[in-house]
């Protein structure tokens, strides 16, 4: 439905704004996770067709008539893998944050000046 697509876009914008304004590394990672959730909502909502049901064939949805009764299964498959990859990347970013904290004893990102020119 279009309402959920708009909600996904608003979540992406909120997450982007949070990533740009915060100085704490953990807050930036939280913002990234919110952007991820918004993108997945947009992708699954594109595959939705009005008044249809889930793509599982059983006694309620017969095999012969399935083309007219079932929601698109491809975006669900893509979003499934994307959610698991999002978790793995978040864990990797957090391990970076731990190592950066060990070096400088603070979580403020403006104290890391080695790459600035």
Partner 1 sequence: MTTVLIIVLGVIMIVAAILALVQKSLLSAVIAAGAVSLLASILYLVLAAPDVAMTEAAIGSGLTTLVFLFALNKIRKEDKNG
Partner 2 sequence: MVKKILLVVLMAFFMLMLLPFAKDFQAFEKLSPTAEKYVQDGPKELGGANLVSSVIVTYRGLDTLGEVAVLFIAAAGVGFFLRREGKNEKAARRQASQILFSGTAFLFPLILVFGVYIFLHGHLTPGGGFQGGVVIATAFVLLLLTDVSASINNSVLHLVESLSGASYVAIGILGLVLAAGFLDNRFLELGEFGSLISAGAIPLIYSFIGLKVGAELVGIVDNMREVRS
CB neighbour burial string for 26-36, b if at least 16 within 10 angstroms, e if fewer: eebbebbebbb
| Residue 39: HSE in the Cβ half-sphere, 13 Å Cα cutoff | 14
Contact status, residue 42 vs residue 65, Cβ threshold 8 Å: no
Judged by CB under 8 A, does residue 103 bind partner 1? Answer: no
CA distance 75 to 104: 43
Contact status, residue 38 vs residue 9, Cβ threshold 8 Å: yes
Residues that bind partner 2 (CB under 8 A): 1-2, 5-6, 9, 12-13, 16-17, 20-21, 46, 48-50, 54-58, 63, 66-68, 70, 72-74, 76-78, 80-81, 84-85, 87-89, 91-92, 94-96, 98-99
Residues that bind partner 1 (CB under 8 A): 1, 3-4, 7, 10-11, 14-15, 17-18, 21-22, 24, 26-27, 29-31, 33-34, 37, 40-41, 44-45, 47-48, 52-54, 56, 71, 75-76, 79-80, 83-84, 86-87, 90-91, 94-95, 97-98, 101-102, 105, 107
């Amino acid at each position: 439905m279009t309402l959920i697509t708009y909600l996904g876009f608003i979540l992406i914008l909120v997450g982007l704004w949070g990533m740009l304004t915060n100085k704490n590394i953990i807050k930036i990672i939280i913002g990234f996770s919110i952007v991820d959730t918004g993108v997945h909502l947009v992708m699954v909502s594109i595959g939705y067709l009005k008044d249809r049901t889930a793509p599982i064939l059983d006694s309620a949805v017969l095999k012969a008539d399935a083309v007219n009764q079932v929601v698109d299964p491809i975006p669900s498959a893509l979003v499934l893998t994307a959610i698991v990859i999002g978790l793995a990347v978040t864990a990797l970013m957090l391990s970076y944050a731990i190592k950066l904290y060990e070096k400088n004893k603070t979580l403020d990102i403006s104290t890391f000046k080695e790459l600035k020119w």
